[in-house]
Structure 1
Amino acid sequence: MERKIPKELFGQAIIDSSKSEEINKPSLNFWQDAWLRVRKNKGAIVSLIIAALVIIMAFVGPVISGKEFDTQKVSHNNLPPRIQGLENISWLPFDGVKVNKAGKEFSPYEQRKVEEYYWFGTDALGRDIFTRVWKGTQISLLIALLAALIDMVIGVIYGAVSGYFGGRIDNIMQRITEILIGIPYLIVVILMILLLKPGIASIVIAMTITGWVGMSRVVRAQVLKLKEQEYVLASRTLGNSHLKIIGKHLLPNLAGVIIINTMFTIPSAIFNEAFLSFIGLGLQDPLASLGTLIDEGFKVLRLHPYQMIIPAIVISTIMITFNLLADGLRDALDPKMRD
């Protein structure tokens, strides 16, 4: 049976000309658009959540454990991890059970009549590893934050001034950076240790001397490109000062590049600190960082593997999450990566 279509449907379409120029999609600024792009990157969002949890635990962990990171209790030394509620699940490594040389399982907690729970176990001096891991994460994140601030202050200012003024000033400033690049970072740290002593101060001073060079070169390259743009020439024609042009017109347009490079600086600084601590040039007892904990655990890896595996998992998680987050920010903030 054929269906008849009413003639009224074939009339001329009514178009409201007043709405022909109407924009239904809301306008977004640069940061809103960047956030929408970050949200599409599942890896970046998951990394952001994990990084936030690690940062929270770095400050909350030592408090909820109820133990001090430097308190020694030799009678409780080298106890395996044991967590309330999980100690009866044999396939989880939190039951407080170890294996002796004969291959038989035994509980050091029962042998020594220890009623306390050590969630990540204890080290050779009976110190709680759970508290030391998160206290060490605090210090590692502190060093990474200082490295990021040094990059953003010294590196950005140095690169912006060098690229903006150019000429003889640029030549002199770039020769200085080439000299600093030629000095190995490890040599600078050793010199600082000879002058001071192993610790946070020597690492931070070494980063202050050489750590900002990479950021300055990136910023200089971007400023050399942007300073010839029309809006910069217009601002210069209107009589604005050099400081105002750099601060108001150039640096805001470099925000994406600065944020991306800063995010890549954080895992690099954490790795450098861990490496220095691992070879004995970093923090000293009783202070702890992830590098010192890995160094201590490596010495007893075959007997007590948890003492190295746990801090190694934490530092690996931090480095992977910050790298994935930096990749996501690069895709969102770098115009060349836009689809």
Structure 2
Amino acid sequence: MINQEISKDMFAPAHIDPSKSEKIAKPSLNFWQDSWLRVRKNKGAVVSIVILGILIIMAFVGPMITPYEYDAQNTKHNNLPPRIQGLENVHWLPFDGTLTRRNGTEYNAYEVRKVDNYYWFGTDALGRDLFARVWTGTQVSLFIAFMAALIDMLIGVTYGAVSGYLGGRVDSVLQRIIEVIVGIPNLIIVVLMILVLKPGIVPIIVALTITGWTSMARVVRAQVLKFKNQEFVLAAKTLGASDTSIVFKHMIPNMFGVIIINTMFSIPNAIFFEAFLSFIGLGLQEPNASLGTLVEDGFKSMIAFPYQMIIPSIMIALIMVCFNLVADGLRDALDPKMRD
């Protein structure tokens, strides 16, 4: 072995720069940035967000890219199956314009009736373009659902915050009112309100918001009771902040995650109720269209022309599943107890 000299310099302590001792190597993330990173790890939520984005865009763009109006009738072209340019020669796809007779034989409805037009989703019994009607109906259903969810959020957050913060006799009275409302079946209240107000977009939104805010109010009340005796609230009281400022500037921002999650879960419920009311004839009236009215119209001729009910039914199922998956992903991301 070769002898090596070990100098005293090799045992000298390392030079440490005090200015870099507490330097953070990675950029710090706030609560929402960290939550977004967690949402991105949930593949189901990400795919659902993309699908919902496409559906929302198509709800506004779809009626514009077709040459037909959603309420324009052409009885000569009634009950035509879907046919799309470029896909009409692909027989294993349901876009070639063929129908099946009762004896099992197939025929091309466009050739038999000598129709040169293309209806991407087919037509209904009055010859109206289903492509335009489906996207217009999606637009209406989403509008009703978002408005109902927004009103539920505003009423529920305010009611629950007041009930939880004031406490005592006020809290007892407000909670008994909620218990009375919850004790009455939700469906009965909604149907009675529609019968009293007559069918329409505004009556449906009002009917959905009569009882929809109760769950939000209970959740917000529980959060306010948890925050009411914490240090940041006591500090705000000591500094002379008003009760309104404490509730709306200090407490509610700390429960944004819970509010967003409950609002996201209420949207598919509103879509389902709107579709149900339309299906039993208490929804929008002709010539207006929603996904529920389209399913109700297609149900009348389900055996002969199944596409008239299948297409809007798929749209309803897709919207509800995507919203539930997004809400589930947000719950996992925003709830501290779900953090890995």
- Code of the residue aligned with 2:80 in structure 1: it is L
TM-score by length of 1: 0.95
Q: Equivalent residue for 1:270?
A: 271
Query: Per-residue deviation at 1:113?
Result: 1.2
Q: Equivalent residue for 1:235?
A: 236
Query: Per-residue deviation at 1:108?
Result: 1.1
Q: Equivalent residue for 1:140?
A: 141
SS in 2 for 1:172: helix
Q: Equivalent residue for 2:246?
A: 245
1:144-170 deviations in Å (ceiling 9; x for gaps): 111111122101000011001100110
Q: Equivalent residue for 1:152?
A: 153
Q: How many residues align?
A: 337
> Partners of 1:4 and 1:55 in 2: how far apart?
77
Runs of 4+ in 1 over 3 A off after TM superposition: 2-8, 10-13
Unmatched tracts of structure 2, length 5 or more: none
**2:119–2:131: 8 Å Cα contact kept in structure 1?**
yes
1:16 aligns with 2:12: no
Bigger shift: residues 59-68 or 15-24: 15-24
Q: 1:6 to 1:136 in 2, by over 3 A?
A: farther
1:299 aligns with 2:300: yes
Q: Equivalent residue for 1:90?
A: 91
> Partners of 1:11 and 1:88 in 2: how far apart?
81
**1:68–1:131: 8 Å Cα contact kept in structure 2?**
yes
Q: Equivalent residue for 1:254?
A: 255
> Partners of 2:335 and 2:2 in 1: how far apart?
56
1:5-44 deviations in Å (ceiling 9; x for gaps): 9979x93473424223211111111111111111111111
> Partners of 2:299 and 2:314 in 1: how far apart?
13
Q: 1:201 to 1:5 in 2, by over 3 A?
A: farther
Which residues in structure 2 correspond to 1:278-293 (within 5 Å)?
278-293=279-294
Q: 1:108 to 1:245 in 2, by over 3 A?
A: same
> Partners of 1:193 and 1:147 in 2: how far apart?
15
Q: 1:251 to 1:100 in 2, by over 3 A?
A: same
Q: Equivalent residue for 1:173?
A: 174
Q: Equivalent residue for 1:113?
A: 114
SS in 2 for 1:106: strand
> Partners of 1:42 and 1:194 in 2: how far apart?
43
Unmatched tracts of structure 1, length 5 or more: none
Q: 1:98 to 1:22 in 2, by over 3 A?
A: same
Query: Per-residue deviation at 1:231?
Result: 0.6
**1:119–1:130: 8 Å Cα contact kept in structure 2?**
yes
> Partners of 2:3 and 2:254 in 1: how far apart?
62
Taking every aligned residue pair, what percent have the same amino acid on both sides?
Answer: 66
> Partners of 2:278 and 2:30 in 1: how far apart?
44
> Partners of 1:20 and 1:232 in 2: how far apart?
35
Q: 1:230 to 1:102 in 2, by over 3 A?
A: same
- Code of the residue aligned with 1:47 in structure 2: it is S
Q: 1:120 to 1:17 in 2, by over 3 A?
A: same
Q: Equivalent residue for 1:216?
A: 217
SS in 2 for 1:303: coil
Q: Equivalent residue for 2:314?
A: 313
**2:83–2:120: 8 Å Cα contact kept in structure 1?**
yes
> Partners of 2:52 and 2:102 in 1: how far apart?
39
**2:195–2:282: 8 Å Cα contact kept in structure 1?**
no
Q: Equivalent residue for 1:194?
A: 195
**2:148–2:206: 8 Å Cα contact kept in structure 1?**
no
**1:140–1:289: 8 Å Cα contact kept in structure 2?**
yes
Q: 1:194 to 1:26 in 2, by over 3 A?
A: same
**2:44–2:325: 8 Å Cα contact kept in structure 1?**
yes
Q: 1:5 to 1:311 in 2, by over 3 A?
A: farther
> Partners of 2:302 and 2:183 in 1: how far apart?
37
Query: Per-residue deviation at 1:279?
Result: 1.3
1:115-171 deviations in Å (ceiling 9; x for gaps): 110000011111111111111001110111111111221010000110011001101
- Code of the residue aligned with 1:42 in structure 2: it is K
Q: 1:3 to 1:130 in 2, by over 3 A?
A: farther
Bigger shift: residues 75-84 or 102-111: 102-111
Query: Per-residue deviation at 1:95?
Result: 0.4
> Partners of 2:190 and 2:333 in 1: how far apart?
36
**2:186–2:211: 8 Å Cα contact kept in structure 1?**
yes
Bigger shift: residues 115-124 or 174-183: 174-183
Query: Per-residue deviation at 1:318?
Result: 0.4
> Partners of 1:6 and 1:218 in 2: how far apart?
73
**1:96–1:108: 8 Å Cα contact kept in structure 2?**
yes
- Code of the residue aligned with 2:10 in structure 1: it is G
Q: 1:16 to 1:76 in 2, by over 3 A?
A: same
**2:141–2:271: 8 Å Cα contact kept in structure 1?**
yes
